[in-house]
Amino acid sequence: MTPDPRSGPAVLMVLGSCVSLQVGAAGAAQLFPAMGSAGVTLLRLLVAALVLLAVTRPHVHLWTRPQWLAVGAFGLCLAGMNGSFYAAIARIPLGTAVTIEFLGPLVLAAVLSRRVRDLGWVLLAATGVVLLGLAADGGGGPGLDRVGVAFALLAGVFWAGYILTSARVGAAVPGQGGLAVALGVGALALVPVGAVGATTVVDRPDLLLLAAVTGLLASVVPYTLELAALRRLPPRVFGVLLSLEPAVAALAGWALLAQPLGGPEAVAVGVVVLASVGSTLSARRPAVDPPAPPTTAGQPAAVGAQDT
């Protein structure tokens, strides 16, 4: 296949998406003391939904029942993935949470391929996660918060579900209207646990502004950049680039949240990045690269077929 001359800018788009996503997550962490992780997640999804709904204006009155079911399932996965991830980074370092979360799409890739080689990549990634835990326990501190680790693992499970449901919505609903409505569904699903925290911004314009910026950086900007990049890059290349996300998250946590990044932690993150890259490169290549499903939250479309 002839390389797309626009692939250079597309690479920068993917890297920009990773940076924007993790900067947004770091900004969200600043809001946790005032709003709680659930309140921040609710506002993030709500801001993203309002922006994308205004842009796409989906014709929801024409949707069929199967389309609504697909979008609803996608929205619930978005709520679970983002809510669990933010609950995790409220308790453990950003880079650690993203690294653990990556187990979700890697396990999904191994299950879908049913190849021993892909199981090996999952075991390699699991080794990296174990190294993270050992590094934390050996640092003289209390070690990783177990509840935070559990939330990161749960976010990985929802990430796998997100990959499957986003592909279904991409096939069932044309354009980006399905994503916009799914974000709204996700925000509604979080109202029971996040409404109290989210309402604290009513008389705090500074918090509202930071929450809006977080929503743009963590959702709207990454979605826009990734979708533009997907039109220029093969899914395999896209997946390899998104595999760098744990490293970007670790650097963002170190630079923006003063979270330590020692040698053992860096090695552990590197092992998981290597496993993700290996899983992407060793995936079965179709005769013609198909379009990759949409991404988000921090997470890779091509890894499961990589987001937020």
Domain range for 197 is: 7-304
101 domain-assigned: yes
272 domain-assigned: yes
286 domain-assigned: yes
201 domain-assigned: yes
Q: What is the pLDDT of residues 131-157, one digit of tens each?
A: 877 776 555 556 788 999 999 999 999
| pTM beyond cutoff 0.75 | yes
Q: What is the pLDDT of residues 230-285, one digit of tens each?
A: 777 776 777 777 788 888 888 888 888 888 878 888 888 888 888 888 877 776 65
What is the dihedral angle through the alpha carbons of 245, 251, 254, 256, rounded to the nearest 10 degrees? -80
276 domain-assigned: yes
What is the dihedral angle through the alpha carbons of 174, 177, 183, 186, rounded to the nearest 10 degrees? -70
135 domain-assigned: yes
Tally of domains within the chain:
1
Give pLDDT, residue 88. 95
Give the span between the Cα atoms of 154 and 92, in whole angstroms.
Answer: 14
Give pLDDT, residue 297. 39
298 domain-assigned: yes
2 domain-assigned: no
In this prediction, the residues of the chain whose per-residue pLDDT falls under 70 are: 1-8, 136-142, 235, 283-308
